[in-house]
Structure 1
Amino acid sequence: MESRIYLCSFASLDLSISMFRFYKQAQNMGIFDGIFIFNESSLNLDFKTHFAPLMYKDFPKDSIESSCKNGGGG
């Protein structure tokens, strides 16, 4: 059976430039069969709501739900 190597990473949106550089470096290595990089927008609404106290300390829960309904990644 052939082995496959995948890279999976997470970075917050404020690290977008670094995330892109990391992605390009991983591509240039030429060893990964797939590269997946996620950010806050990749998280579903249930995850955001459940972990809101840890992730969004300055934002009320309803503002997270509202942002997702308006295209914020839910």
Structure 2
Amino acid sequence: MPRTELTRMGIACAVAIVAMSFLALDAIVDVNSSVIAKRIELAQASIADAAMSQHQLASAVQACAHRDQQQPTAVERF
């Protein structure tokens, strides 16, 4: 083969490798961004759930404390 043809084939091969590397990198970034988005949504839902649980717990403690203040204890009854 003439030298110019080998040079052209080498350039075409390098361009193909660069293009495939770019496409592979693009696919990895797309996958990671969707995975990251799902993890962020999951974390937001978890934080909201924890906040709601704390609110419910605080309400239950307040209700229990309020109830205990209104009812006399067994010692006070006698």
Which TM bucket (shorter chain)?
Answer: under 0.3
TM-score by length of 2: 0.22
TM-score by length of 1: 0.23
Bigger radius of gyration among the two? 2
Q: Which has the higher strand share?
A: 1
